[in-house]
Homo-oligomer: A and B are copies of this chain.
């Protein structure tokens, strides 16, 4: 059965672009004309993904560019740094890539973030196309225009807001994804239930098994709906000065877990999954949701294959790590909390209460 290709338009004025979601898109040469044309195309990928998909992508875009080069970075969050970024710049300059070049980010969020950052700064900006090959990247990094590299003192500390020309989410690439990464991607899918869409939460409860079994129709809808919901938020707050912060549900706690354990020990989605459990408990302690609701969503997170219990660090360490997060304002911690009608808001909370919640979730 051929799943029909779905198109979600991302409306951002003169920075608008489409996201295509479907099967067998990498091999559909006709589709790639939307990626532009020019002198140099650079396919930026990693040593895991490139052997699987770079040839198909190259075959589909070869006719559009004078030169197609491949840049293969080492795989993993620990390589999301200036050294990898410089590898991209070195390759582009060696290939004499000019301002009319197009960068293709073929891989997960790390590749997307770094390629986007490189595109936004190479000669002060060249075009780029995202080809996300993980569920997390398809639902999350494909909308929002956030690019970044990590700094030894903090995750995603250096970056830009920069929109791609086009995003192509080929669901077939998810077939080679380790199950652990499917679960990690589902964290950012599940998120949209509590913060924005009660019906989607219901749908996820019904379809979680199909998603874990990578049923294409279920994945197509989950990806599409997550993107639509994220796009609603991002369109009204492109540079994250206000409402967009609700997308960070679970992320304040999650970033503390990631940096406390060292990047890459837990996957980002795993940390967010557990961080959402903490944020749900905090919402309960603030009187916003019932214990039943906390249990309900926690159970869905667990069914997605995600951890619901935090790593055993002292609560004070969590607080310290959260204060270093770039979303903290003048050292004041801010948390996304939810109500049962899928309304999210951002607020502070007393340190003691936060420490209590963390302690309870790490038992």
Chain B positions within 8 Å of A94 at CB level:
153
Chain B residue numbers with a CB within 8 Å of A123 are 157-159, 326
Residue A203 at the B interface, CB < 8 A? no
Shortest A253–chain B CB gap in Å is 19
Our pick among B86, B90, B100, B157 for the contact of A330 (Cβ within 8 Å) is B100
Which residues of chain B are near A89, meaning CB under 8 Å? Answer: 151, 157-158
Question: Contact at B93–A157, with CB atoms within 8 Å?
Answer: yes
Main secondary structure of the interface of A (DSSP, over half): mixed
Copies of this protein, total: 2
Query: CB-CB < 8 A to A124: which residues of B?
Result: 146-148, 159-161, 239-240
Docked Cα-Cα span, A94 to B153, in Å, equals: 8
Q: Kindly state whether residue A36 has any CB partner on chain B within 8 Å.
A: no
**What residue of chain B has the Cβ atom nearest to residue A97's Cβ?**
B326
Which residue of chain B is the closest to A82 with respect to CB atoms?
A: B82
Q: Are A90 and B153 in contact (CB-based, < 8 A)?
A: yes
**A248 interfacial by beta-carbon distance below 8 Å:** no
A352 at the interface (CB under 8 A from B): no
A51 at the interface (CB under 8 A from B): no
- Is A232 an interface residue, CB under 8 A from the partner? no
Q: How far is the CB of A160 from chain B (nearest CB, A)?
A: 6
Q: For the complex, what is the distance from the CA of A122 to the CA of B157, rounded to whole Å? A: 6
Q: Which residues of B contact A28 (CB under 8 A)?
A: none
Interface 0/1 of A72-111, CB less than 8 Å to B: 0000000000100010011001101011100000000000
The docked-state distance in angstroms from the alpha carbon of A327 to that of B100 is 10
On whether the beta carbons of B99 and A329 are closer than 8 Å, the reply is yes
B90 in contact with A161 (CB, 8 Å): no
A348 within 8 A of B: no
Residues on the B chain within 8 Å of A240, using CB = 124
* Nearest Cβ on chain B to A360's Cβ, whole angstroms: 28
Q: Are B125 and A160 in contact (CB under 8 A)?
A: yes
With both chains docked as a complex, state the minimum distance between the C-beta of A323 and any C-beta of chain B, in angstroms: 8
Partner of A161, one of B93, B125, B148, B151: B125
Find the B residue at minimum CB distance from A123: B326
Q: Check A283 for interface membership: any CB of B closer than 8 A.
A: no
- When chains A and B are docked, how far (Å) is the Cα of A157 from the Cα of B326? 28
Chain B neighbourhood of A148, CB < 8 A? 124
Quick check: is A319 within 8 A (CB to CB) of the other chain?
no
Q: Given the known inter-chain contacts A99-B329, A146-B124, A160-B160, please indicate yes or no for A151 contacting B93, CB distance below 8 A.
A: yes
Question: At the interface, yes or no: A66 with Cβ under 8 Å from chain B?
Answer: yes
Known A117-B121, A123-B326, A124-B146; 17 more pairs at CB < 8 Å: A93-B151, A93-B157, A94-B153, A96-B331, A98-B328, A99-B326, A99-B327, A100-B330, A121-B159, A122-B157, A122-B158, A124-B160, A124-B161, A124-B239, A124-B240, A125-B160, A125-B161
